[in-house]
Structure 1
Amino acid sequence: MLKQLRTFAVPNDRALKVGISGGIGSGKTAFTNCLAALGGVRFDADEVLRTITGSPGRALTQIREAFGASVWEPGGQLNRAALAQLIFSDSAAKARLECILHPLVWQEMDRVVAPLKPGDVLLAEIPLLSETGNHTRFDCCVMVDAPLEVRLSRLIGGRQLTEAQARARINAQASRVQREAIATFWVDNCGTPEDLNADATALWNLLSRV
């Protein structure tokens, strides 16, 4: 179900920038896929992160300097699982990693936005929008949510996490109240894929009319 929680200002001199986020396992990627099929220019922060932390990614040298050999494979590749486990259990490590990665992500988004014109719509999927305070970079924010049991099931089944690991990752992120505080639109992803697609269509109709 799609709900509009607050109004937003539409720029008349540049593209409309829409930030899409939600808790881990909420279905924000599926929702963004539905929206992108209808129009707009997609920006996927996770895809950028995979690029800059892959070989020979721009972030690797800084990550090695910050975290040492404990997050590296013997062959010289970044051990993503070890790094993820570290940052979900150590808030200071998480903050260090964000200081390395986030500026590079925003640089890439600026590159994508630069050629866009007034009337264009940027659809930016940003996992930690409410946690980082970067919602102010966007004209409106869409938060996707799902019941806790559904999110746990997706993390345990799809990402091969234990229940304890899945709960820890969920608890490390912003609460529903924190997400609602910055959301322009709220999507309750508690139905079928067809329901989610209908919500995306309804939102796109709103965005493309403004």
Structure 2
Amino acid sequence: MGLTGGIGSGKSAVARRLEGHGALIVDADQISREVVEPGTSGLEEIAAEFGDDVLTEEGRLDRPRLGEIVFSDTAKLAKLNAIVHPRVGARTEELMKGASADAVVVYDVPLLVENDLGGLYDVVVVVDVPEEEQVARVVHNRGMDADQVRARINAQAARDRRRAAADIVVDNSGTPEDLDARVAEVWEYLRTRA
């Protein structure tokens, strides 16, 4: 299953709930951090492309700084994606090969729609909330400036496009209990398909 949603939609909350039901979660964000750790060729290539000021004093990737650069410039974002995506793909393939034959594997990938990856999955689930709720959540939970959040939202697929790519839409604008119930329905559907 491919799981996606815009920044601040609650995609990670859905992934955690699915994991609680027994799904194997493959998290693209986690993998994308892993492939740019200090000492990796990914981090070296990013520093060569964007300069050493995208590194912290400790030599780690300064993700907020890099985000300021790439999320306002589509050409620079494309360069970053060309560095990171092949590495994420290779690591994902490794992890998926390790799953048991009867596992429900959930690939948690923010850019599923943007990269037209829907055809790779048996089911595409989109976590959805209105844009203003996305902004409010990210500002509150991550301390990010509202304009930076909107820039990231604008760099992602439009809400209508994301919803159109979905086999299942999970509305996450309600209570945590509402989300629990909806994820339980999705899990039952996935188990039935499996």
Q: The TM-score by the shorter chain falls in which range? A: over 0.9
Task: Report 1:5-154 matches (<5 A).
Answer: 18-154=1-137
Percent of aligned pairs with the same amino acid: 37
Does the CA-based 8 Å contact 2:38-2:59 persist in structure 1? no
Unaligned segments of structure 1, at least 5 residues: 1-17
Aligned residue in 1 for 2:160: 177
* SS of corresponding position for 1:63: helix
Cα deviation, 1:83-121, whole Å, max 9, x if unaligned, reads 011111111110011111111111111111113344321
In the alignment of these two chains, the number of paired residues is 193
Q: Is the alpha carbon distance of 1:115 and 1:74 closer, same or farther for their aligned partners in structure 2, counting shifts above 3 Å?
A: closer
Which residue identity lines up with residue 73 of structure 2 in the other structure?
D
Cα deviation, 1:5-51, whole Å, max 9, x if unaligned, reads xxxxxxxxxxxxx0100000000000111111001211011111111
Report the aligned-residue RMSD. 1.4
Cα deviation for residue 149 of structure 1 reads 2.4
Aligned residue in 2 for 1:200: 183
Cα deviation for residue 205 of structure 1 reads 0.4
CA distance in 1, matches of 2:36, 2:55: 11
Does the CA-based 8 Å contact 2:124-2:165 persist in structure 1? yes
Q: Is the alpha carbon distance of 1:58 and 1:122 closer, same or farther for their aligned partners in structure 2, counting shifts above 3 Å?
A: farther
* SS of corresponding position for 1:187: strand
Query: TM-score, normalised on structure 1?
Result: 0.87
CA distance in 2, matches of 1:46, 1:136: 20
* SS of corresponding position for 2:113: helix
Cα deviation for residue 66 of structure 1 reads 1.5
> Which shows bigger deviation, 27-36 or 144-153?
144-153
CA distance in 2, matches of 1:99, 1:135: 19
Which residue identity lines up with residue 37 of structure 1 in the other structure?
G
Cα deviation for residue 73 of structure 1 reads 2.6
Cα deviation for residue 75 of structure 1 reads 3.8
Cα deviation, 1:139-162, whole Å, max 9, x if unaligned, reads 211000112222111111111122
Greater relative contact order structure (CA < 8 Å, 6+ sep): 1
* SS of corresponding position for 1:59: helix
Q: Is the alpha carbon distance of 1:73 and 1:116 closer, same or farther for their aligned partners in structure 2, counting shifts above 3 Å?
A: closer
Q: Is the alpha carbon distance of 1:75 and 1:118 closer, same or farther for their aligned partners in structure 2, counting shifts above 3 Å?
A: closer
